[in-house]
């Protein structure tokens, strides 16, 4: 018995890392160096210098523009409504210079735990940072429970790169994985379950409303017909193949680019739906004025037209009502240099408002 335990321990100790074929890792799990930025800094810099995001990481967008607007001072209380990888949070914490506090929210139990640990190792413990597994639609509860109104608030509405890149989360059509798309995989229903039994009319409406998909009718019809014939759509690849089938009527010269864009829009539409993103954003915007301190500042990053329309409309309405003293009249976009370094920044729009 002792010999068996000893042998088992030895096998565990000598367990080798998964090797990859060729000279460069291709899959998410093979990129072990990119998952350890503290250990392989040179590899991380090489990946970033090529305009790519290392696996398991997220490169924060518009950091300078956000900090220039928020004008964070030591001693203030702030809220990062969407913690993510924590890049924005870290930059804002540094502005506090050890005085004040930031509350950070996220619904993703997997990534928020990693980010909390990462920031703690950088010296940002609970005395200056409180991380809560909570939806940002509940900002009024956070304000009430903490007894605080916020001097500054940031909401980055984009999906974090580490969520997109991890095939287990199902956010990308480019890699095989379960068609999930939930920010919190422990709650709600997956995109696969949402599609099962959906009507053509409902799916078509979802694609138009959430993503302005020009081929919504063709995609909805194909997806519904495939499922009626017993063809399950439970993985990212299966959905991509269904979209590809729907677009076969297009000339071959146009089809490749159309497929890419329709996949992006369809996955976006499903993600918005399963996470109730518009409803959550609307609730957040409605509650914002009541949780901001006098002269408090809020900056919001959006990544598609539906989100931006909601933010713009809310800011204008509350300024008209006298709740905001100033709002951004035009969107602020990342610089050309930032977009060159980080391709995922290209669709970003930033709007801001200042509480009366």
Strands of 349-355's sheet in order across? 129-133, 101-106, 77-80, 150-156, 292-302, 349-355, 324-327
| pLDDT for res 48 | 44
Name the β-bridge partners of 129. Answer: 102
3-state DSSP call for residue 333? coil
Protein fold of 63-161+278-355: Rossmann fold (3.40.50)
Residue 338: CB atoms within 10 A of its CB come to 18
Query: CATH 1.10.150 occupies which residues in the chain?
Result: 184-274
Please, what's the b/e burial string for 114-145 (b: 16 or more CB within 10 A of its CB; e: otherwise)?
ebbeebeeeebeeebbebbebbbbbbeebbee
Distance CA 165, CA 29 (A): 10
Residue among 99, 96, 86, 91 at smallest CA distance from 65: 91
Token duo for residue 63: 């950091």
For residue 154, give every residue at least 6 positions away whose Cβ sits within 8 Å of its Cβ, in sequence order, or none.
66, 70, 78, 79, 80, 81, 82, 88, 92, 298, 299, 300, 301
Distance CA 356, CA 193 (A): 45
| pLDDT for res 22 | 55
| pLDDT for res 159 | 80
Token duo for residue 292: 């901001």
| pLDDT for res 39 | 53
Distance CA 200, CA 213 (A): 14
Distance CA 7, CA 173 (A): 43
For residue 87, give every residue at least 6 positions away whose Cβ sits within 8 Å of its Cβ, in sequence order, or none.
58, 59, 60, 63
Distance CA 26, CA 15 (A): 21
Residue among 28, 22, 76, 5 at smallest CA distance from 297: 76
What CATH number does domain 184-274 carry, 1.25.10, 3.10.450, 1.20.1440, 1.10.150?
Answer: 1.10.150
For residue 96, give every residue at least 6 positions away whose Cβ sits within 8 Å of its Cβ, in sequence order, or none.
72, 74, 75, 76, 78, 102, 128
Low-confidence ranges of the chain (pLDDT < 70): 1-58, 161-162
| pLDDT for res 31 | 46
Distance CA 181, CA 135 (A): 16
| pLDDT for res 32 | 44
C-alpha distances out from residue 90 to 27, 263, 266, 336, Å = 29, 33, 33, 24
């Amino acid at each position: 018995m002792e010999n068996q335990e000893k042998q088992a321990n030895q096998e565990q100790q000598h367990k080798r890392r998964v090797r990859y074929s060729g000279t460069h890792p291709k899959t998410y799990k093979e990129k072990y160096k990119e998952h350890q930025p503290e250990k392989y800094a040179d590899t991380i810099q090489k990946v970033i210098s090529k305009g790519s995001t290392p696996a398991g990481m997220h490169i924060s967008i518009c950091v300078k523009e956000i900090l220039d607007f928020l004008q964070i001072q030591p001693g203030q209380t702030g809220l990062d409504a969407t913690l993510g990888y924590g890049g924005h949070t870290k930059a804002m914490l540094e502005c506090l210079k050890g005085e004040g506090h930031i509350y950070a929210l996220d619904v993703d139990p997997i990534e928020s735990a990693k980010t909390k640990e990462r920031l703690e190792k950088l010296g940002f413990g609970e005395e200056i940072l409180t991380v809560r597994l909570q939806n940002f639609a509940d900002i009024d509860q956070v304000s009430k429970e903490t007894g605080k109104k916020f001097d500054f608030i940031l909401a980055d509405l984009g999906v974090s790169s580490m969520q997109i890149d991890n095939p287990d989360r199902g956010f990308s059509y480019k890699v095989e994985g379960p068609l999930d798309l939930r920010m919190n995989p422990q709650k709600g229903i997956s995109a696969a379950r949402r599609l099962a039994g959906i009507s053509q009319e409902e799916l078509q409406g979802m694609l138009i409303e959430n993503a302005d998909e020009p081929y919504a009718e063709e995609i909805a019809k194909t997806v519904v017909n495939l499922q009626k014939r017993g063809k399950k759509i439970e993985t990212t690849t299966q959905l991509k193949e269904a979209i590809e089938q729907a677009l076969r009527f297009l000339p071959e010269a146009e089809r490749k680019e159309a497929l890419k864009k329709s996949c992006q829009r369809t996955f976006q539409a499903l993600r918005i739906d399963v996470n109730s993103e518009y409803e959550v954003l609307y609730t957040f915007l409605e509650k914002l004025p009541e949780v901001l301190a006098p002269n408090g500042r809020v900056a919001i990053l959006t990544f598609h037209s539906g989100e931006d329309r909601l933010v713009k409309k809310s800011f204008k309405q509350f300024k008209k009502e006298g709740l905001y003293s100033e709002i951004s009249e035009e969107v602020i976009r990342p610089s050309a240099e930032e977009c060159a370094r980080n391709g995922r920044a290209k669709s970003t729009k930033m709007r801001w408002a200042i509480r009366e």
